């Protein structure tokens, strides 16, 4: 009973409500020794590297120890920071963020705004603090009423839906099959047609990219709860040299064969970003590419679980 | 204008079952991404592409119908997926330019 009350609390809070905004950050030209100083002074174990509000990497205590051991502690951060940083979105439910903390074992996670800007850090401490503040606020009211209110505000979360699709490389003819399948699944779980369509378009383009541009294909993982559809598209390479370039309209490395089939117009990634309510792309050469997409459901979708109306 | 009325007026050959519905506009392009970016539910799509992705795009975008132009043969894989996804496909003897022009004259803008 007590436990489910706390769970509801966590579910209701968004990630930005539990993050720390005043964060010590470094720039790429700081030396690792500078960062070591920051860590000591502020008693922290990780420093995000941020320029122009963009997160470029993170330096952790392990990076510092390695630098001391191998004698490059006076090098600039640029060459040694961890560039593949796991991040969370400001509008994610706190439950999501907590499960990422738990899964990765990292002590801190950078929070990005919808526009992809770095806006703060969540740590277990900042989450605990947010929970205590929220509890205090609720208990400040008539206690019973507060509990009732909180329970009423949060419909019992229906069992979340989860799908995984493997997309092999090179099978051009199969493009769109996963998006069509996913669309049908979403329809049968009450996702409104307008959202279904945006999800399907984004998935189609993501699927096409896995087929066309990757060495060994990739995966599309979809989670649906009563608030949003979350999609992670991930592959193991080759990675994108310059993601900013890849995001431009009309920029493409597709072959003539691919173009003759009507793909490779360089419109995919920009359209995915346009369709989604949250979009993040991370890529590293030799490692692979990851898209994190979020599609918000309208408020009144909550609790609705019957099949949606078919197409008119 | 409805899909069936358009087919009649343009002398199109249906290669799938025809689901009749109102047409809201049209798009003529051979780029898949173009349809995904600029198509809208209820539109007719004119293209020379005949592979299976055509049906997947039409279904994703909830298009009213696809017109394959220039009398091109439609692949069996495309027909199978179109049937499964209830996508309506016609073939036009005329090329994309000519078919578009006549469709425009019929008042589909
Ligand atoms: N998963 C991926 N792995 C490697 N490169 C990719 C991936 N996705 C996209 N790219 C690169 O980004 C470019 C732009 O992608 P996109 O906007 O979808 O256009 P297109 O696929 O039509 O080329 C691609 O041409 C390719 O170079
Ligand atoms: Mg693409």
pLDDT in tens, A109-122: 999 988 889 999 99
Residue A126 in this model has a pLDDT that exceeds 60: yes
B20 interface with A at CB cutoff 8 Å: no
Ramachandran angles phi, psi of A81, nearest 5°: -65, 160
Percent of chain A surpassing pLDDT 70: 88
Query: Which letter does DSSP use for residue A28 in this model?
Result: T
CA distance A271 to chain B (A): 6
Q: Are A228 and A294 in contact (CB under 8 A)?
A: yes
B32 interface with A at CB cutoff 8 Å: yes
The contacts of residue A257 (CB under 8 Å, 6+ apart) are: none
Determine the residue of chain A that is closest to B31 in CA distance: A262
Sign of CA dihedral A266, A212, A293, A160: positive
Three-state DSSP class for residue A46: strand
Three-state DSSP class for residue A307: coil
Could you give the CA distance from residue A146 to residue A62 in angstroms, rounded to a whole number? 44
Q: What is the per-residue pLDDT for A8?
A: 74
For A155-183, give one letter per residue: b (16+ CB within 10 A) or e.
eebeeebeeebebeeeebbbbbbbbbebb
Query: What's CA B40's distance to the chain center, in Å?
Result: 13
Query: What's CA B63's distance to the chain center, in Å?
Result: 8
Out of B37, B41, B56, whose CB is closest to A177?
B56
Three-state DSSP class for residue A98: helix
Q: What is the per-residue pLDDT for A105?
A: 86
pLDDT in tens, A13-35: 889 889 988 899 999 999 999 99
B62 interface with A at CB cutoff 8 Å: yes
CA distance B37 to chain A (A): 6
**Residue ranges covered by each domain of chain B:** 3-105
Could you give the CA distance from residue A204 to residue A220 in angstroms, rounded to a whole number? 11
The region, left, alpha or beta by phi > 0 then psi within -120 to 50, assigned to residue A294 is: beta
Beta-carbon count within 10 A of A151 CB:
13
Per-residue DSSP letters for A215-264? Answer: SS-EEEEEEE-SSEEEEEEEE-SS--S-HHHHTSTT-----HHHHHTT--
CA distance B48 to chain A (A): 10
Question: Is the CB of B36 less than 8 angstroms away from the CB of A262?
Answer: no
Question: Is the CB of B56 less than 8 angstroms away from the CB of A263?
Answer: no
Q: What is the per-residue pLDDT for A155?
A: 44
Name the nearest CA neighbour of B96 among B70, B75, B63, B66.
B70
Q: What is the per-residue pLDDT for A240?
A: 96
Q: What is the per-residue pLDDT for A311?
A: 37
Q: What is the per-residue pLDDT for A157?
A: 42
The contacts of residue A114 (CB under 8 Å, 6+ apart) are: A89, A90, A91, A277, A278
Residue A156 in this model has a pLDDT that exceeds 70: no
Please, is A131 exposed, middle or buried when counting C-beta atoms within 10 Å of its C-beta (0-12, 13-18, 19+)?
Answer: middle
Angle at B29 between CA B75 and CA A209, to 5 degrees: 75
Residue A304 in this model has a pLDDT that exceeds 60: no
**In B, which residues are within 8 Å of A197 by CB distance?**
41, 60-62
Ligand at shortest distance from the CA of A269: 1
Task: Enter the CATH code of domain B3-105.
Answer: 3.40.1390.20
How do the pLDDT tens digits run along chain B, 109 residues long? 999 999 999 999 999 999 999 999 999 999 999 999 999 999 999 999 999 999 999 999 999 999 999 999 999 889 999 988 999 999 999 999 999 999 999 999 9
Closest residue to atom 22 of ligand 1, CA basis: A264
> Could you give the ipTM of this predicted complex?
0.92
Q: What's the gap in Å between A208 CA and the centre of ligand 2?
A: 6
Could you give the CA distance from residue A237 to residue A35 in angstroms, rounded to a whole number? 32
Q: What is the per-residue pLDDT for A4?
A: 66
Q: Is the CB of A252 under 6 A from ligand 1?
A: yes
Q: Is the CB of A237 under 6 A from ligand 1?
A: no
Q: Tell me the pTM.
A: 0.64
pLDDT higher for A306 or A215? A215
Out of A173, A175, A197, whose CB is closest to B77?
A173
Mean pLDDT of A228-257: 94
Q: What is the per-residue pLDDT for A109?
A: 94
Preferred mutation among A204, A257, A269 to probe B, highest tally of B CBs within 10 A: A204
């Amino acid at each position: 009973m007590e436990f489910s009350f706390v769970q509801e609390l966590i579910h209701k809070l968004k990630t930005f409500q539990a993050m720390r905004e005043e964060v010590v950050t470094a720039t790429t030209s700081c030396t690792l020794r500078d960062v070591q100083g920051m860590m000591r002074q502020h008693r922290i174990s990780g420093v995000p590297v941020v320029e122009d509000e963009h997160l470029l990497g993170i330096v952790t205590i392990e990076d510092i120890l390695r630098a001391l051991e191998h004698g490059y502690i006076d090098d600039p951060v640029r060459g040694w920071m961890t560039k593949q940083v796991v991040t969370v979105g400001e509008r994610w439910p706190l439950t999501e963020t907590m499960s990422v903390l738990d899964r990765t074992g990292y002590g801190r996670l950078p929070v990005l705004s919808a526009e992809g800007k770095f806006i703060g850090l969540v740590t277990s401490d900042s989450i605990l603090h947010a929970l205590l503040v929220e509890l205090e606020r609720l208990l400040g009211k008539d206690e019973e009423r507060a509990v009732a209110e909180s329970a009423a505000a949060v419909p019992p979360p229906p069992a979340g839906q989860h799908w995984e699709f493997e997309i092999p490389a090179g099978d051009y003819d199969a493009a769109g099959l996963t998006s069509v399948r996913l669309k049908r699944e979403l329809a049968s779980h009450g996702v409104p047609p307008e959202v279904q369509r945006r999800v399907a378009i984004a998935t189609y383009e993501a699927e096409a990219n896995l087929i066309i541009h990757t060495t060994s294909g990739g995966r599309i993982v979809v989670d649906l709860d009563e608030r949003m559809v979350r999609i992670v598209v991930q592959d193991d390479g080759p990675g994108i040299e310059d993601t900013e370039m890849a995001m431009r309209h009309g920029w493409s490395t597709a072959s003539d064969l691919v173009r003759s089939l009507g793909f490779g117009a360089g419109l995919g990634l920009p359209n995915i970003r346009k369709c989604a309510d949250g979009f993040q792309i991370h890529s590293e050469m030799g490692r692979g590419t990851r898209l994190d997409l979020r599609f918000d459901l309208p408020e009144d979708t909550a609790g609705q679980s019957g099949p949606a109306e078919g197409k008119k | 204008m409805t899909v069936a009325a358009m087919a009649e007026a343009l002398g199109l050959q249906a290669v799938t079952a025809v689901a009749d519905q109102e047409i809201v506009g049209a798009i003529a392009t051979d780029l898949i991404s173009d349809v995904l970016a600029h198509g809208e539910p209820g539109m007719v799509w004119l293209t020379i592409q005949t592979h299976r992705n055509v049906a997947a795009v039409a279904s994703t975008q909830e298009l009213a119908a696809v017109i394959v132009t220039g009398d091109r043969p439609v692949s069996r894989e495309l027909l199978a997926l179109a049937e499964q996804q209830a996508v309506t496909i016609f073939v036009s003897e005329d090329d994309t330019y000519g078919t578009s022009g006549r469709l425009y004259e019929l008042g589909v803008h």
